[in-house]
Amino acid sequence: MNEHYDNENVAAERILIAVDGPAASGKGTIARALASHFKLPHMDTGMLYRAVALNLWRWGGDPSSEFEALRGCDVAAVDPADAELRSEAVSSIASRISAYPSVRAALLDRQRQFAGQPGGAVLDGRDIGTVVAPEADAKLFVTAAAEVRAQRRVRELLERGLPAHYEDVLTDIRARDERDTNRQISPLAQAHDADLLDTSGLDIDQAIAEAIRLVERRLAARLSTQQT
């Protein structure tokens, strides 16, 4: 099998890449880097759930009510640059409301449309490779130890000028892992045909290089299947 994937030869082809993983695993940074490398549009699907959570939080809606969460699904008016989207309060509500089937259904079309663009796309989230885009050409499941993820998230929050305490963030990450993995609908799971990328011992440049290598290997394999 030719392991080398030539960007130029297949530039006109549709490339769909799914990146999934738990909180603060590095999947967002990796997805953005893949989008830039392969010149594809990128969607951070977690932002949709965060936008619903922010709506609900601002209205004083109750996250334990599926009905109220569904009312927050009109996310058109949410400013993607709103720093509050990344706050721990909103993260925690996002993780809770994302367990509701009606909320997931309300956000699914938008994600599938993005994935269906003619040239392809990169999407990152929890269920891209399993539910949103099971047909993706390359799927990565990005993970890292919970303690490493908590350290990264604290750094990220502080850099954004938001308050962050390591123990609280670690507790929250573990709670979110638990909820994301055990919910009934679209749980966080590695697709059977996804490549696992553990970033615990990698810095961001190494993680990106490894992600590109894994995706190129999948694309080269697809190319050789098409040619035979």
Q: Name the residues that contact ligand CDP, by CB under 6 A.
A: 23-24, 28, 45-46, 49-50, 91, 94-95, 98, 125-127, 176, 180
Contacts (Cβ under 8 Å, ≥6 apart) of 165: 154
- State the residue number with the nearest CB to ligand CDP: 46
User: Minimum distance from CB of 140 to ligand CDP (Å)?
Assistant: 14
User: Minimum distance from CB of 58 to ligand CDP (Å)?
Assistant: 17
User: Minimum distance from CB of 66 to ligand CDP (Å)?
Assistant: 14
Q: Which of residues 142 and 219 has its CB atom nearest to ligand CDP in the complex? A: 142
Q: Which of residues 15 and 188 has its CB atom nearest to ligand CDP in the complex? A: 188
Contact 91, 84 (CB under 8 A): no
Q: How far apart are CA 88 and CA 181, in angstroms?
A: 19
User: Minimum distance from CB of 12 to ligand CDP (Å)?
Assistant: 29
Q: Which of residues 98 and 199 has its CB atom nearest to ligand CDP in the complex? A: 98
Q: Which of residues 175 and 221 has its CB atom nearest to ligand CDP in the complex? A: 175
Q: Which of residues 173 and 216 has its CB atom nearest to ligand CDP in the complex? A: 173
User: Minimum distance from CB of 14 to ligand CDP (Å)?
Assistant: 21
Residue 17's closest CA among 135, 105, 113? 135
User: Minimum distance from CB of 141 to ligand CDP (Å)?
Assistant: 13
Q: Which of residues 181 and 224 has its CB atom nearest to ligand CDP in the complex? A: 181
Sequential DSSP letters for 163-189 = ---HHHHHHHHHHHHHHHHH-SSS-S-
